[in-house]
């Protein structure tokens, strides 16, 4: 038996000497055991201390949920750093049992490995219960991605394709304290609660052929291909219907069926699937009308389901209902496999913002809300998701604002100060 930081360890046994208090010892990238885990173990009192009998240290780690953190580039690193402070608090004070590991992606990966995401990272993503992603990219690497080709996709786009993360959820639910942060009138914003469900692994972002060609006369032509199969449409539409069933039972399908043949197929498939969900009210909108309606009366929407391109545009527009892209989280989910595992990636939607990187002014709330989505949808701790969201609301209620949501930028709160406020409120939640 050998001593490690006050803990005696032997095969199949960990012994805590000199105290009867539950303990946490840092092992690699996880805390173990939490108080919650200790309740499942056999407690044997011994003179001068206590002993916890466990099957093996490896079995404890294997049973933990796995969180893979990919900060990315620029402000992605900054907001994820602050979000990991929340993770550490939850592990220390709220019995969150999770094995956390960190790796690189995006420009950081290109500079080190010559690829935006390595095969090793993709494999780590496959076995993770949740992936917490920051943001990637910047001017330094834009030309590389613009050349096209499967090896030059962004790391995030590659993950979406390799993990089949076909369903992207972007919830839009403004905090009451930020009624005045939106460019829309408070009476328009107050009470909005909608989700944009975006198809994420097909459409124009992945269609072939694509590229820029030089023609015989020296002129250039850019080519992108928008294509969908009925199967690709059906699975995202069914996902949207099922989500609507868990909410207010209203689904809006957005397309451009008056112009695009892919949208004609989209609308056909939506109409074919609808009878399987008779409790859900369905309506169709052209994307230009949907954009107008989001600004005019966003409260009319419950769940919006749409393709990759339209979902990208509509969800960023809807983010301004909340006051800023810095307030909008997202989840990207894949299919459930035979073992019940579903790949799941969670990220703020604001991008890497290289223009403000290093200034300490990025808003960390979207990243923290993405963590809350991970807790609810992948890590099986909806109670902690509620606590994180309540802590964020509490911090905003004190009047603290980062620059993107501040009425007076000269009084803006820093990234770290906003995280400090969230952690202080988190300590008051139960």
Sort 330 into a burial class: Cβ within 10 Å, 0-12 / 13-18 / 19+: buried
Give dist(CA 186, CA 178) in Å, integer: 9
429 φ, ψ (degrees, to nearest 5): -85, 165
Q: What is the CA radius of gyration of the chain?
A: 24
Domain spans of the chain, in order of start: 2-58, 64-166+334-430, 176-323
pLDDT of residue 272: 98
pLDDT of residue 144: 79
Q: How many whole angstroms separate alpha carbon 392 and alpha carbon 363?
A: 12
Catalytic annotation, pick one of 23, 32, 52, 205: 205
Please answer whether residues 167 and 197 qualify as being in contact, where contact means their C-beta atoms are separated by less than 8 angstroms: yes
Q: Give the residue carrying structure tokens 């929407």.
A: 301
The single residue of 81, 179, 224, 316 carrying the catalytic annotation is 316
Q: How far apart are CA 358 and CA 374, in angstroms?
A: 27
Active site residue 32: no
pLDDT tens track, the chain, 430 positions: 333 333 333 334 444 443 334 434 333 333 444 444 444 444 444 444 554 444 555 555 667 999 999 999 999 999 999 999 999 999 999 999 999 999 999 999 999 999 999 999 999 999 999 999 999 999 999 877 655 554 556 899 999 999 999 999 999 999 999 988 898 999 999 999 999 999 999 999 999 998 899 999 999 999 999 999 999 999 999 999 999 999 999 999 999 999 999 999 999 999 999 999 999 999 999 999 999 999 999 999 999 999 999 999 999 999 889 999 899 999 999 999 999 999 999 999 999 999 999 999 999 999 999 999 999 999 999 999 999 999 999 999 999 999 999 989 889 999 999 999 999 999 997 6
180: CB partners within 8 A, 6+ apart: 186, 407
- Whether residue 198 contacts residue 312, with contact meaning beta carbons closer than 8 Å, is answered with yes
β-bridge pairing 303-306 and 130-135? unpaired
**Predicted pLDDT of residue 28:** 36
Residue 14 confidence (pLDDT): 42
Residues in the chain: 430
165 in Cβ contact with 200 (< 8 Å): yes
Whether 288 sits among the annotated catalytic residues: the reply is yes
- Phi-psi group of 106: left, alpha or beta (phi > 0 → left; psi -120 to 50 → alpha; rest → beta): left
Annotated active-site residue in 73, 95, 129, 312: 312
Q: Is 176-323 the same fold as 64-166+334-430?
A: yes
Distances (CA, A) of 53 to 8, 27, 31, 42: 12, 18, 17, 5
Report phi then psi at 66, rounded to 5. Answer: -110, 125
Residue 312 bears catalytic tag = yes
Question: Spelled out in words, what is the top-level CATH class assigned to the domain 176-323?
Answer: alpha beta
CA 404 to chain centre: 20
Q: 395-428 burial, b if ≥16 CB within 10 A, otherwise e?
A: bbeeebbbbbbbeeeeebbbbeebbbbbbebbee
Extract the tokens encoding 339.
């073992």
d(CA 370, CA 71) in angstroms, rounded, equals: 13
What was the pLDDT predicted at 152? 57
What does pTM read for this prediction?
Answer: 0.85
Residue 155 has which token pair?
């790391």
Supply 413's token pair. Answer: 């709160």
Which two tokens mark 169?
């959820």
Count, in order, helices (H) and strands (E) of the chain: 15, 19
307 CB-near residues (< 8 Å, 6+ apart): 198, 199, 202, 203, 228, 255, 262, 263, 266
Q: Which of 105, 107, 95, 67 is nearest to 83 (CA)?
A: 67
Give the residue from 182, 201, 206, 200 showing the smallest Cα distance to 192.
182
- Measured CA to CA in angstroms, residue 157 lies from 150, 205, 279, 344, 417 at distances of 10, 9, 35, 14, 32
Superfamily name and number for 64-166+334-430? Isopropylmalate Dehydrogenase (3.40.718.10)
Select which of 65, 145, 256, 425 is catalytic.
Answer: 256
Our measurement of the distance from residue 147's CA atom to the centroid of its chain's CA atoms, rounded to an integer in Å, reads 28
* Catalytic position from the list 180, 268, 276, 288: 288
The kind and range of the H/E element at 346 are strand 344-348
Residue with tokens 């796995």: 66
User: And the tokens for 258?
Assistant: 């008056």
Instruction: Please report the DSSP string for 259-287 in residue order.
Output: T-HHHHHHHHHHHHHGGG-TTSEEEEEEH
105 touches 117 (CB < 8 A)? yes
């Amino acid at each position: 038996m050998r001593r490690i930081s006050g803990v005696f360890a032997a095969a199949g046994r960990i012994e805590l000497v000199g105290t009867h208090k539950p303990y946490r010892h840092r092992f690699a990238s996880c805390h173990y055991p939490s108080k919650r885990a200790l309740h499942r173990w056999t407690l044997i009192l011994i003179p001068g201390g206590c002993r916890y009998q466990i099957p093996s240290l490896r079995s404890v780690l294997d049973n933990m949920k796995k969180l893979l953190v990919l900060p990315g580039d620029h402000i992605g690193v900054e907001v994820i750093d602050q979000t990991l402070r929340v993770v550490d608090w939850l592990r220390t004070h709220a019995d969150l049992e999770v094995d956390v590991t960190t790796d690189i992606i995006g420009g950081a990966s290109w500079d080190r490995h010559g690829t935006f995401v390595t095969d090793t990272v993709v494999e780590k993503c496959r076995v993770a219960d949740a992936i917490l992603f920051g943001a990637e990219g910047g001017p330094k690497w834009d030309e590389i991605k613009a050349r096209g080709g499967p090896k030059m996709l962004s790391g995030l786009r590659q993950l979406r394709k390799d993990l089949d993360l076909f369903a992207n959820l972007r919830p839009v639910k403004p905090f009451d304290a930020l009624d005045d942060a939106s460019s829309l009138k408070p009476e328009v914003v107050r009470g909005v609660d909608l989700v944009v469900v975006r198809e994420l692994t097909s459409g124009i972002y992945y269609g072939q052929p694509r590229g820029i060609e030089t023609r015989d006369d020296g002129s250039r032509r850019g080519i992108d291909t928008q294509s969908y199969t009925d199967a690709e449409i059906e699975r995202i539409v069914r996902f949207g219907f099922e989500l609507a069933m868990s909410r207010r039972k209203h689904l809006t399908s957005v397309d451009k069926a008056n112009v695009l043949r892919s949208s004609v197929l989209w609308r056909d498939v939506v109409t074919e699937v609808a009878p399987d969900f008779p409790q859900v009210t369905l309506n169709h909108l052209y994307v230009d009308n949907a954009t107008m309606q989001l600004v005019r009366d966003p409260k009319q929407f419950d769940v919006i389901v749409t393709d990759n391109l339209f979902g990208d545009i509509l969800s960023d527009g809807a983010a301004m209902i909340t006051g800023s892209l810095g307030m909008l989280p997202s989840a990207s989910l894949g299919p459930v496999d035979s073992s019940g595992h579903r790949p799941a990636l969670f990220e703020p939607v604001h991008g890497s913002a290289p223009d403000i990187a290093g200034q300490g002014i990025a808003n960390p709330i979207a990243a923290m809300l993405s963590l809350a989505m991970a807790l609810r949808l992948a890590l099986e701790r909806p109670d902690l998701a509620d606590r994180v969201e309540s802590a964020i609301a509490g911090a905003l209620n004190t009047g603290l604002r980062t620059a993107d949501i501040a009425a007076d930028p000269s009084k803006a709160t820093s990234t770290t100060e906003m995280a400090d406020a969230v952690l202080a409120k988190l300590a008051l939640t139960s």
